[in-house]
Amino acid sequence: MASIELKNVIKRYGAGKGSNQVIHGVNAQIADGEFVVIVGPSGCGKSTLLRMVAGLEEISSGEICIGGRVVNRLEPSERDIAMVFQNYALYPHMTVFENMAYGLKIAKVPTAEIKARVDKAAKILELGAFLERTPRALSGGQRQRVAMGRAIVRQPQVFLFDEPLSNLDAKLRAQTRLEIQKLHRELGITSLFVTHDQVEAMTLAQRMIVMNGGVMEQFGTPEEVYTRPASTFVASFIGSPPMNLLKNAPDAAPGTITGVRPEHLDITPTGWALQVEAVEMLGAERLVYGRWAHSPTDELVIVRTEESHAVPALGSTLHVTPRAHRIHHFDAATGKRMEAP
Amino acid sequence: MVERRPWLDFLSHAILVIGVLVVAFPVYITFVASTHTTQEVVQSPMPLLPGSHFVENYATALSGDRQGSGSHASVGRMMVVSLVTALVISIGKIAISLLSAFAIVYFRFPFRMAFFWAIFITLMLPVEVRIGPTYQVVADLGLLNSYAGLTIPLIASATATFLFRQFFLTVPDELVEAARVDGAGPMRFFKDILVPLSSTSMAALFVIQFIYGWNQYLWPLLVTTEENMYPVVIGIKQMISGGDAQTEWNIVMATAMLAMLPPALVVMLMQKWFVKGLVDTEK
Global ipTM: 0.83
Query: Among A230, A212, A104, A83, which residue's Cα sits nearest to residue A159?
Result: A83
Residue in A closest to B196 by C-alpha = A93
Overall average pLDDT of the A43-48 stretch: 91
**Contact (CB<8Å) B181/A136:** no
Contact list, B192 vs chain A (CB under 8 Å): 91, 102
Whether residue B281 lies within 8 A of chain A, CB to CB, comes out as no
Q: What percent of chain A has pLDDT over 90?
A: 64
Within a domain: residue B57?
yes
Please tell me which of the candidates B174, B193, B197 has its beta carbon nearest to residue A85: B174
* Phi, psi (degrees; rounded to nearest 5) at A230: -80, -15
**Contact (CB<8Å) A81/B181:** yes
Kindly report, residue by residue over B176-199, the tens digit of the pLDDT: 999 999 999 899 999 999 999 998
Which one of 2.40.50.140, 2.40.128.20, 3.90.1170.50, 3.40.47.10 gives the CATH number of domain A241-338?
2.40.50.140
**Contact (CB<8Å) B178/A83:** yes
Domain ranges in chain A? Answer: 4-234, 241-338
**Contact (CB<8Å) A103/B182:** yes
Whether residue B184 lies within 8 A of chain A, CB to CB, comes out as yes
| C-alpha–C-alpha distance, residues A218 and A228, integer Å | 10
| C-alpha–C-alpha distance, residues A9 and A25, integer Å | 5
Please tell me which of the candidates B177, B181, B283 has its beta carbon nearest to residue A92: B283
Contact list, B177 vs chain A (CB under 8 Å): 54, 56, 76, 83, 85, 89
What is the distance in angstroms between the Cα of A90 and the nearest Cα belonging to chain B?
A: 7
Helices B199-214 + B75-106 axis angle, to 10: 140
Note the pLDDT of residue B243. 54
CB burial of residue A58 (10 Å; 0-12, 13-18, 19+): exposed
CB burial of residue B60 (10 Å; 0-12, 13-18, 19+): buried
Same domain, B83 and B195: yes
The domain tally of chain B equals 2
Q: Are A27 and A216 in contact (CB under 8 A)?
A: yes
Find which of B171, B173, B181 to mutate to test the A interface (most A CBs within 10 Å of its CB).
B181
The helix/strand/coil state of A302 is strand
Kindly report, residue by residue over A158-181, the tens digit of the pLDDT: 999 999 998 888 888 988 899 899
Q: Are A100 and B178 in contact (CB under 8 A)?
A: no
Kindly report, residue by residue over B49-80, the tens digit of the pLDDT: 888 888 888 888 888 777 666 667 788 888 99
Same domain, B32 and B126: no
* Phi, psi (degrees; rounded to nearest 5) at A96: -55, -45
Note the pLDDT of residue A309. 82
* Phi, psi (degrees; rounded to nearest 5) at A68: 80, 0
Count the residues in chain B: 283
Q: What percent of chain B has pLDDT over 70?
A: 93
The helix/strand/coil state of A274 is strand
Same domain, B51 and B138: no
Please tell me which of the candidates B174, B183, B199 has its beta carbon nearest to residue A89: B174
pLDDT: which is higher, A248 or B182:
B182
Kindly report, residue by residue over A46-92, the tens digit of the pLDDT: 999 999 999 999 999 999 999 999 999 999 999 999 999 999 899 99
**Contact (CB<8Å) B174/A107:** no
Same domain, B178 and B218: yes
Same domain, B138 and B250: yes
Q: Which residues of A touch B (CB under 8 A)?
A: 54-56, 75-77, 81-83, 85-93, 102-103, 106-107, 136, 150
Provide the whole-model pTM. 0.80
Whether residue B171 lies within 8 A of chain A, CB to CB, comes out as no
The CATH number of the domain holding residue B186 is: 1.10.3720.10
Number of Cβ within a 10 Å radius of residue B16: 10
Q: Are A118 and B195 in contact (CB under 8 A)?
A: no
Sign of CA dihedral A307, A308, A313, A319: negative
Please tell me which of the candidates B174, B181, B199 has its beta carbon nearest to residue A87: B174
Give the residue from B31, B63, B95 where a domain finishes: B63
Query: Among A38, A12, A39, which residue's Cα sits nearest to residue A25?
Result: A12
Kindly report, residue by residue over A287-331, the tens digit of the pLDDT: 999 998 877 777 889 999 888 888 888 888 889 999 988 899 999
The helix/strand/coil state of A265 is strand
Same domain, B80 and B211: yes
Q: Which residues contact B14 (CB under 8 A, 6 or more apart)?
A: none
Count the residues in chain A: 341
Same domain, B99 and B239: yes
Rounded to an integer, what is the distance from CA A260 to the centroid of its chain?
A: 22
Please tell me which of the candidates A77, A86, A92 has its beta carbon nearest to residue B180: A77
Query: Among A145, A95, A105, which residue's Cα sits nearest to residue A124?
Result: A145
Find which of B174, B177, B182 to mutate to test the A interface (most A CBs within 10 Å of its CB).
B182
Provide the residue range defining the domain that includes B190: 75-279
pLDDT band per the 50, 70, 90 thresholds, residue B283: very low
Sign of CA dihedral A272, A277, A281, A282: negative
Kindly report, residue by residue over A195-242, the tens digit of the pLDDT: 999 989 999 999 999 999 999 999 999 999 999 999 999 999 998 889
Q: How is B232-260 classified by DSSP, letter by letter? A: HHHHHHHHS--SSSPP-HHHHHHHHHHHH
Same domain, B256 and B141: yes
Which one of 3.40.50.300, 3.40.50.2000, 3.40.50.800, 3.20.10.10 gives the CATH number of domain A4-234?
3.40.50.300
**Contact (CB<8Å) B182/A83:** no
Q: Output the CA angle A46-A90-A86, nearest 5 degrees.
A: 20
| C-alpha–C-alpha distance, residues B56 and A332, integer Å | 101
Number of H helices, E strands in chain B: 16, 0
pLDDT band per the 50, 70, 90 thresholds, residue B1: very low
Please tell me which of the candidates A86, A93, A106 has its beta carbon nearest to residue B188: A106
Within a domain: residue B1?
no
Please tell me which of the candidates B181, B184, B283 has its beta carbon nearest to residue A83: B181
